[in-house]
Structure 1
Amino acid sequence: MILLSQVEYIGVCSRLLYVFSRMSNDGDVDKWLELIKDCKYLPETDLKKLCTIISDILFEESNVQPVFSPVTICGDVHGQYYDVQELFKTGGYPPDTQYIFMGDFVDRGYYSLETLTQLLVFKAKWPHRLTLLRGNHESRQVTQVYGFYDECMKKYGNANLWRFCCRLFDLMPIGALIDNTVLCIHGGLSPDIGTIDQMRTIERDQEIPHRGGFCDLMWSDPDDIDWWAISPRGAGWLFGEKPTNQFMHNNQLTLICRAHQLVQEGIKFMFNERLVTVWSAPNYCYRCGNIASILAFHTSTNYETKLFSAVPDEKRQIPSKTTTPYFL
């Protein structure tokens, strides 16, 4: 007969509860995998449960989540559900392909809710095959202006699900680190943050502030300048080659991957190919005419760009009425 201490007994009970909870959740997740096909969203009670499952997963993830290659990097997708399916056709569906999405899942596109729901269901089913980083649009203030709030109100008749999703946004990691040498982040650098260890100490469980290091990481952009400059966005900074090289040297990085900026060619390397912008929303806002890309890392130093175009209008469902010009 084996006698357990109180601590050991509590530990065993906790693990058993986790296993039984996981088994119960798996049934729901499999059901949701079927429901999200063909651009559908979940019933209110199901989406609340999904948000709770994802919250538990995100609580265990670091501010800068470690990821190991092979992995594919994606930029903004902005609620363009049908183009996200083209992204998965290009790069492979989970769990066969591991992904890092660098934020801005919602706003401006027709189907922010369906797009976010699909990514959350994939995360619930294969938590270690998808890393979902926060972008500047994963914010209460921004989503009330650029579409996600209105979409939740229209489809659910209340703001409850929007609040659940915003609470989830607060828990998303700020960045990811591939093989300890490639940093993935939504926006860019900050004059207040010189090391990845400083990023790890940020209190991320909050609305994105209007200024400071956390804000800069979500809003900053690279530019052909030497040092720092005021950003025309009104948040974050423009940063040049010198602060980029300094940050990379201090943190022993080989590449910085970021999103946040529309790139007509889908991808743009800067600063002697030490920084790259990946854009994954083709024909952005259904009017920009750009192509999109994902960046597939076989190893941290061996990667390839995969380009894809927007799905033709005849192969997507277009809402009959759009009244708010979210592309401003």
Structure 2
Amino acid sequence: MTTTEPATDKSGPVVETDASNSNKAIALKDKANEYFKNQDYLKAILLYSEAIELDGTQAALYSNRSIAHLRLENFGYALSDATKAIECDPNYVKGYYRRAVSYMALGKYKEAVKDFEHILKISQAGKETRLRLNECKKLLRKQAFEKAISVDYDKSVAASIDPDHMQVEPNYDGPHIVNGKVDLEFVVSLIKTFKKGKKLDKKYAYMIILQVAELFRKCDSLVDVKIPDESKFTVCGDIHGQYFDLLNIFELNGLPSSTNPYLFNGDFVDRGSFSVECILTLFAFKALYPNHFFMSRGNHESQTMNQMYGFEGEVKSKYSSTMYDLFTETFNLLPLAHCLNKRVLVMHGGLFSSDTVTLDDIRKVDRYRQPPDEGIMCELLWSDPMAKHGRAPSKRGVGIQFGPDVTHHFCEFNNLDYIIRSHEVKNNGYDLAHDGKMITVFSAPNYCDAIGNLGAYITMTGKTLIPDFHTYSEVPHPDVKPMAYASSFFGLRA
């Protein structure tokens, strides 16, 4: 394969079947391909599924639905569809490629290597596939190396960086940190600098990251937040590199301060192409108001997601590999959840495969690592609610889906009023499920410049903790497309 190949197939091997159904399936596929090109992946998936109902013998249908699921991060479904494409045609190259990318998204590099190697055996794929295979092997070696070494502070990236001895670029005209301390004047100037499309000098970027790393290092994996009775508190969901929409939240709801505290609930980066500006602004507010500005880790604060969805490429383009490594290390320090006045739990993903998880279990999780593919940490970052009772395998391939009975039991077991999570796009920017005990908030409007959803944030007072929902539309931003820094290696650019 080459990087110039279309993301979806217009044709593919067709086994003899009912001619009428086969023709209808082809027509549906063509229509679905148009929705895919317009980034309406949900509609594309529905049409691919209709086509498969009519004719389940076409490998291209499963392959196309697979990449649509990949775009939506439904890695479990993407893997299943790629495998079905291969079952339809054991020599179908794109099936193996889609499956390899799905395996990589799930951190299963050994399986991905096998599929890339098989592509070379059955096709004339050549140079491009070999490059992908070598990159995958490199990631596999890196993964093995990271498991083998100690992660103590003396061997950390942070310990090797000394911004005090860095020189500011001579032509730099942005804000300066004076006496090593982030102040409000600096943060306001930083926002103006980023709005103009300018960069923060690397010296100050390193200073901010190192300062917040030390703050996060002192936190438990679950942070208890005390909100005074009459004080307002704001919870925001996914931002995903949509910097100008982040600034709109501050325009609508006020800048963070000691009297206007915020909690941002993960997925600050990736997808949107202003992720560096988002994370540095949020980190600057954390450094300025350490006891009134809170951040939870999302599933996109991880190496695998950052490699696929653009943050790694963006940091390396705007700064350096060393700074990306420092971000990666700092993301490992982010708390996994927050508990508001001992009554409301806030995490990025969702609940657990066990009925006996307590808040103290979350508090004690060893989070200083890349997210595992099972257990409490994984489920906090990846799980999703569903309408039916019980538990089910996740469409994402990691975490679980859980029903209202699971939510009610967890809240009762841990004396909670309700739960706030993020992780999923919602048309209105928020959603109430499980009799109001499972609230989703998503703060990136018109996600990826394509979905058309509203964004939302939640405010409440400490005494009642009754959620008040605020919605808003997207605002204009510079003409830089989402995923602009994503690697073409994964085939996930829009």
Report if TM-score (shorter chain) is over 0.5. yes
Within the candidate set 44, 55, 60, 2:213 is matched to 55
2:479 match: 318
2:240 match: 78
1:92 match: 254
Counterpart amino acid of 2:288? K
1:155 match: 318
- Is this contact kept in 1: 2:182–2:287, CA < 8 A? no
Within the candidate set 142, 157, 167, 2:329 is matched to 167
Counterpart amino acid of 1:291? L
Structure 1 residue runs of 4 or more that deviate by more than 6 Å after TM superposition: none
Deviations 1:154-174, CA, capped at 9 Å, x for gaps = 112x31111111111011111
- Is this contact kept in 2: 1:147–1:326, CA < 8 A? no
- Is this contact kept in 2: 1:29–1:121, CA < 8 A? no
* Residues in 2 aligned to 1:210 and 1:77: alpha-carbon distance in whole angstroms: 24
* Residues in 1 aligned to 2:359 and 2:307: alpha-carbon distance in whole angstroms: 31
1:182 to 2:182 alignment: no
Within the candidate set 173, 186, 190, 1:35 is matched to 190
Deviations 1:72-108, CA, capped at 9 Å, x for gaps = 1100000000000111112211104210110000000
| Larger proportion of strand | 1
Within the candidate set 115, 121, 129, 2:292 is matched to 129
1:244 match: 407
Within the candidate set 208, 213, 221, 2:376 is matched to 213
- Normalising by structure 2, report the TM-score: 0.59
Deviations 1:204-223, CA, capped at 9 Å, x for gaps = 11111122221111000000
- Is this contact kept in 2: 1:133–1:172, CA < 8 A? yes
Counterpart amino acid of 2:226? F
Please state whether the residue corresponding to 1:234 is helix, strand or coil: coil
- Normalising by structure 1, report the TM-score: 0.87
* Residues in 2 aligned to 1:323 and 1:261: alpha-carbon distance in whole angstroms: 22
Task: Report sequence identity in percent.
Answer: 32
User: Alpha carbons of 1:327 and 1:214: their partners in 2 closer, same or farther (altered >3 Å)?
Assistant: farther
Q: Please state how far the C-alpha of 1:61 moved relative to its aligned partner.
A: 1.7
1:260 to 2:423 alignment: yes
| Larger proportion of helix | 2
* Residues in 2 aligned to 1:327 and 1:249: alpha-carbon distance in whole angstroms: 43
1:304 to 2:468 alignment: yes
Q: Please state how far the C-alpha of 1:124 moved relative to its aligned partner.
A: 0.6
Q: Please state how far the C-alpha of 1:28 moved relative to its aligned partner.
A: 7.2
Please state whether the residue corresponding to 1:171 is helix, strand or coil: coil
User: Alpha carbons of 1:295 and 1:259: their partners in 2 closer, same or farther (altered >3 Å)?
Assistant: same
Counterpart amino acid of 1:311? V
281-290 or 192-201, larger mean C-alpha shift: 192-201
Counterpart amino acid of 2:336? I
* Residues in 2 aligned to 1:85 and 1:269: alpha-carbon distance in whole angstroms: 26
Higher relative contact order (CA 8 A, sep 6+): 1
Q: Which runs of 5 or more residues in structure 1 are unaligned?
A: 1-21
1:45 match: 203
- Is this contact kept in 1: 2:349–2:381, CA < 8 A? yes
* Residues in 2 aligned to 1:84 and 1:149: alpha-carbon distance in whole angstroms: 20
Please state whether the residue corresponding to 1:25 is helix, strand or coil: coil
Q: Between Structure 1 and Structure 2, whose CA radius of gyration is higher?
A: 2
2:282 match: 119
Please state whether the residue corresponding to 1:226 is helix, strand or coil: coil
Please state whether the residue corresponding to 1:296 is helix, strand or coil: strand
2:59 match: none
* Residues in 2 aligned to 1:323 and 1:257: alpha-carbon distance in whole angstroms: 31
- Is this contact kept in 2: 1:113–1:151, CA < 8 A? yes
- Is this contact kept in 1: 2:345–2:420, CA < 8 A? yes
* Residues in 2 aligned to 1:57 and 1:179: alpha-carbon distance in whole angstroms: 21
1:277 match: 440
- Is this contact kept in 2: 1:76–1:260, CA < 8 A? yes
- Is this contact kept in 2: 1:90–1:306, CA < 8 A? no
* Residues in 2 aligned to 1:302 and 1:327: alpha-carbon distance in whole angstroms: 40
* Residues in 1 aligned to 2:193 and 2:349: alpha-carbon distance in whole angstroms: 31
Backbone CA RMSD of aligned residues? 2.0
166-175 or 300-309, larger mean C-alpha shift: 300-309
* Residues in 2 aligned to 1:92 and 1:319: alpha-carbon distance in whole angstroms: 27
- Is this contact kept in 2: 1:41–1:113, CA < 8 A? no
- Is this contact kept in 2: 1:211–1:236, CA < 8 A? yes
* Residues in 1 aligned to 2:492 and 2:267: alpha-carbon distance in whole angstroms: 14
